[in-house]
Structures are given as C-alpha cells and as structure tokens.
C-alpha cells in the first residue's frame, strides 16, 4: 500500500522559488512548482532503463485525490501499452521529431482561420524547421532555440524572431502537457539578447512579482492613477486607449470602444468590445463616486474636460519603485503569458488584445466576436490578478470628510480626494493623480 506524503494544505501552501522544485507524493507522483508560481502534477516512470515524465495538468484543475486517481489510471494504461507506442520489439520508444509533432499540433488548431494558421506554419517552415525540424523533440534544448533565433535575427527579421519563439513555444508547451518533455526550451526572456526586439518601454514584471506590485499600487488608495493602473491590468487595453475611455462607452458589463481610440493605421482601425469583470466594474463604480464631472473615466484633474496625463501610469509605476521594470503595456504581456499557460484559446486571447488581423476582409467581422468566451477568460484573469478578498481595503476607502464637493486649489477646481481609512490625506494635486 502506497504511503502518500502530500496533503491539500501542503500543495496550496507551496511557494515559488528561484528555480523549479518538486514535492513528491509517492509512486512517482509529484507536484512541480515553477518560479512563476505555477503548480503542475507530473509522474516519473521508466521504460526499460530510460527515465520518462508524464504531465497530468495544473493543481488548480486537478486536486490531490484526482491526481492520485490519474496516477493509477496511467500505470494501468502504461502496463497495457496504451500510453507508450513501441516501434520495435526491443522496447524502443518512438519519439516524434519537432516537425512531426508540429504537424500534429497544427492539425488540432480548429479555432484558427486558415490564413492565420498558414502564416504561423510558414514562419516555422522558413525559419525554424530547417534547423531543428528533424531533431527528436526530447533532444531540443534552450541553446538550440537560441541559435535558431540568433540566425533569424542576423538576417534582420526582427518580427520573425518574436513569432518563431512564440509559435515554437506553444508547440513545446503542448508536448510538455502530454508528457513528451519535462520543460519548454522556449521559456526564457529574450530582452537584451536581440537588439531589434529589445523594447525597454514595454518592460514587464514576472508573474511571481504581480502581487507585490499591486500591493504597492493599493497603498496609493483610490487616486485616479492607481485606479487607472488597476483597470489597465484588468482590461489589458493599451495605455492610450484607457486614457481616452469615456463614460458613454460603458454598456452594462462591457466597454464598447469606438474605432477612433484604438491602435491602427487610418482607415484600418476597428471598434473593440471589452467584457468587464466584477473587479473592473468595481473600479468604475469607485470612479463614479468621485464625481469628477468629466466625460472621461480617468480625467486630468487639472483640466477635467481632458483625458488623464499621458504618463499617468508610468509616473505611478516610478513612484512605487518599479521604474524600468514595469510599464502599462506590460500588463498585456503578463496577461498573454498567463492565458497561454492556462490553455485558453489563441483566438480568444488575440481578440481580447485587439490584435488586428492583417486580412482586411476577415478583420472586419463581428466586433464582439467570442464575447461569452472572453467574458469567462477576463473574469478568470481578474480572479487571479486581484482576488476579491484582496479588494476589501479598497472597498473600505472613503472620501475625505469635511470637504466641499469641489476643492479650489491654486485657482483650479478639483473634486474631493479619496484615501484609505485611517490614513493621512495629503491635499495636493499632482500630475497623473
């Protein structure tokens, strides 16, 4: 009889470290804890003299008792020969090449438009497969991927560096989930490695740092800047798009952003519908209570008929000690990584990010596409980003009492400031706040 070592509380309490580590349960079952905070069930086993790993899935989807049940099922299937396919009587296991597994991966991408799929396949065919396509997927490591990317970069194809890494990473991720490999060789930061793609202005923190970052933001209370930063994270809009939001865009539990505020060349901009999580709706309610009497959701407090300062979020980020480590745009990178790691649909992720399809005919279709699915995606993201329990202090934040509806400071009329209860109010108007 197996002696199990883990408990539900131990699994839940496990904290990320600087490198991946394992919490063993028994009979080859263990919980892998990644530096980003991910917790994934895996099974160690052997075929002949060769060690193998089978990935079950994340802890948030598979409870401890269910992982143990899947372990029993896996061992039974392994014994029956249903998991491992032998190509020789010697017991040699067939390991697909990267090209073979890529073909299998592409065949399962049912949600992608044909031209999008062909473009991604073409990227790998032209830039990746000539170098590693014939190698066994289990034998490809980070150094090989880096050499491939350096070759692409040397040819001046900076955009293809990013795309090649992104599309390859998704294939390796699928292989990791299926248990063919234990780590994704594409999971490394290329900032500073490739000159053409090193964009400092889009720096972003690691997932493990998000909680600390938001705790610093929460210390700013209900200032316009702090709420703009939270809202930007919850909606993954671009900073300019967030600044130009008007109250008239709010339609129940969605934002209907008109084409003119969205990114894109003249004549190619498209409207964008954003589903609002309960956390995002709460921020809108807080902004309404502040009664700025502006058409803008996040106004400039020096001039209420104008949107907030261009650098409203960047100024806040610098103020709380994250200058050069995080940007407003960084929320989009964090969201994309989180959503992909949690196996949400590529189509839903790309639509939420308002990435415009280069095919003009296809890009013109329903502005609210995938809205129910994206509503689920954004609520799941909000629950990870800002758990409801963590918002209690902000819910208790109240307007400073004893002030008139409008404060006259320096000849300018400003609405009352908000502060955390039991905090000292500083009545000072600053750019971006």
| Residue 426: pLDDT band with limits 50, 70, 90 | very low
What is the per-residue pLDDT across 149-187, written as a single tens digit (0 to 9) for each?
A: 999 888 777 778 888 999 999 999 988 887 788 889 998
In the three-class reduction of DSSP (H, G, I as helix; E, B as strand; rest coil), residue 399 is classed as strand
| pLDDT at residue 227 is higher than 60 | yes
| pLDDT at residue 194 is higher than 90 | no
Side-by-side strand order, sheet with 29-33: 21-26, 29-33, 39-47, 50-58
Looking at residue 283, what is its pLDDT?
94
Q: What is the mean pLDDT of the chain?
A: 78
pLDDT above 90: percentage of residues in the chain: 38
CATH number (1.10.443.10, 3.40.50.300, 2.60.40.420, 1.10.4080.10) of 201-419 reads 1.10.443.10
What's the rounded Cα separation, in Å, for the pair 84 and 268? 50
| Closest among 430, 421, 423, 427 to 403, alpha carbons compared | 427
| pLDDT at residue 48 is higher than 80 | no
For Cα atoms 280, 283, 289, give the angle at the middle one, nearest 5 degrees. 145
CATH 1.10.150.130 placement within the chain? 98-197
CB-CB contact of 409 with 238 (8 Å)? no
Write out 350-375 in H/E/C secondary structure.
HHHCCCCCCCHHHHCCCCCCCHHHHH
Mean per-residue pLDDT for 373-381?
A: 93
What is the per-residue pLDDT across 315-325, written as a single tens digit (0 to 9) for each?
A: 999 999 998 88
Cross-strand pairs, 414: 407
Looking at residue 195, what is its pLDDT?
52
CATH 3.30.160.390 placement within the chain? 8-80
DSSP state of 392: H
What is the per-residue pLDDT across 2-11, written as a single tens digit (0 to 9) for each?
A: 578 899 999 9
Q: Which residues contact 268 (CB under 8 A, 6 or more apart)?
A: 356, 360, 363
Looking at residue 76, what is its pLDDT?
64
CB-CB contact of 241 with 308 (8 Å)? no
What is the per-residue pLDDT across 84-104, written as a single tens digit (0 to 9) for each?
A: 444 334 444 567 889 988 988
Looking at residue 377, what is its pLDDT?
94
Six-digit token string for 246: 């008007």
Burial of 51 (C-beta count, 10 Å sphere; 0-12/13-18/19+): exposed
CATH architecture, domain defined by 98-197: Orthogonal Bundle (1.10)
Handedness of CA 60, 32, 206, 8 (dihedral sign): positive
Task: Name the CATH topology of 8-80.
Answer: Double Stranded RNA Binding Domain (3.30.160)
Looking at residue 63, what is its pLDDT?
92
Select the more confidently predicted residue: 78 or 413.
Answer: 78
Six-digit token string for 58: 């994340």
Burial of 314 (C-beta count, 10 Å sphere; 0-12/13-18/19+): buried
In order of 15, 75, 428, the CA distances from 5 in angstroms are 17, 19, 56
Looking at residue 332, what is its pLDDT?
92
Looking at residue 356, what is its pLDDT?
64
In order of 11, 134, 176, the CA distances from 170 in angstroms are 27, 18, 10
| pLDDT at residue 18 is higher than 80 | yes
Looking at residue 425, what is its pLDDT?
28
Least confident range from 48-62, 190-204, 256-270: namely 190-204
Looking at residue 58, what is its pLDDT?
87
Q: In the chain, helix, strand, coil percent, each to 5?
A: 45, 15, 40
What is the per-residue pLDDT across 323-376, written as a single tens digit (0 to 9) for each?
A: 888 988 899 999 998 998 888 888 889 889 988 654 444 444 444 588 999 999
Looking at residue 340, what is its pLDDT?
86
Mean per-residue pLDDT for 417-425?
A: 28
| Residue 72: pLDDT band with limits 50, 70, 90 | confident
| Closest among 178, 180, 170 to 344, alpha carbons compared | 170
Looking at residue 82, what is its pLDDT?
42
Looking at residue 306, what is its pLDDT?
87
Q: Which residues contact 376 (CB under 8 A, 6 or more apart)?
A: none
| pLDDT at residue 55 is higher than 90 | no
What is the per-residue pLDDT across 114-141, written as a single tens digit (0 to 9) for each?
A: 777 888 898 999 999 999 999 989 889 9
| pLDDT at residue 34 is higher than 70 | yes
Cross-strand pairs, 58: 40
Looking at residue 290, what is its pLDDT?
84
Select the more confidently predicted residue: 183 or 75.
Answer: 183
């Amino acid at each position: 009889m197996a002696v199990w070592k883990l408990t539900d509380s131990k699994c839940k309490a496990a904290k990320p470290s600087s490198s991946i580590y394992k919490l063993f349960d028994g009979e080859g079952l263990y919980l892998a804890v990644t530096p980003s905070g991910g917790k994934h069930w895996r099974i160690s086993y052997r075929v002949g003299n060769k060690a193998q790993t089978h990935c079950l899935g994340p802890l948030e989807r598979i409870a401890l008792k269910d992982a143990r049940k899947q372990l029993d099922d896996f061992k039974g299937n392994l014994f029956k020969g249903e998991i491992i396919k032998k190509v020789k009587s010697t017991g040699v296991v067939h390991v697909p090449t990267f090209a073979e597994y890529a073909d299998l991966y592409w065949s399962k991408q049912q949600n992608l438009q044909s031209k999008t799929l062909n473009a991604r396949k073409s990227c790998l065919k032209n830039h990746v497969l000539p170098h590693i396509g014939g190698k066994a997927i289990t034998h490809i490591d980070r150094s090989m991927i880096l050499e491939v990317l350096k070759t692409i970069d040397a040819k001046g194809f900076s955009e293809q560096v990013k795309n090649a890494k992104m599309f390859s990473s998704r294939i390796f991720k699928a292989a990791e989930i299926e248990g063919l490999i234990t780590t994704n060789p594409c999971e490394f930061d290329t900032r500073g490695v490739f000159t053409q793609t090193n964009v400092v202005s889009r720096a972003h923190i690691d997932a493990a740092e998000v909680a600390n970052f938001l705790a610093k933001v929460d210390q700013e209370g209900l200032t316009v800047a702090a709420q703009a930063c939270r809202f930007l994270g919850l909606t993954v809009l671009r900073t300019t798009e967030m600044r130009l939001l008007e109250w008239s865009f709010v339609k129940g539990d969605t934002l209907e952003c008109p084409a003119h505020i969205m990114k894109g060349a003249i004549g190619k901009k498209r409207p964008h519908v954003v589903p609002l999580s309960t956390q995002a709706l709460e921020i809108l309610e807080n902004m309404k209570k502040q009664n700025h009497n502006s058409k803008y959701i996040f106004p400039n407090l020096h001039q209420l008929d104008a949107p907030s300062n261009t650098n409203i979020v960047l100024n806040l980020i610098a103020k709380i000690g994250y200058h050069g480590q995080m940007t407003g745009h960084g929320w989009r990178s964090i969201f994309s990584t989180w959503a992909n790691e949690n196996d949400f649909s590529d189509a839903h992720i790309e639509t939420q990010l308002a990435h415009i399809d280069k095919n003009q005919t296809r890009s013109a279709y329903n502005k609210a596409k995938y809205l129910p699915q994206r509503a689920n995606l954004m609520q799941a993201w909000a629950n990870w980003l800002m758990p409801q329990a963590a918002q209690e202090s902000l819910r208790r934040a109240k307007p400073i009492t004893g002030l008139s509806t409008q404060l006259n400071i320096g000849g300018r009329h400003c609405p009352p400031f908000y502060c955390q209860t039991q905090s000292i109010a500083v009545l000072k108007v600053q750019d971006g706040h």
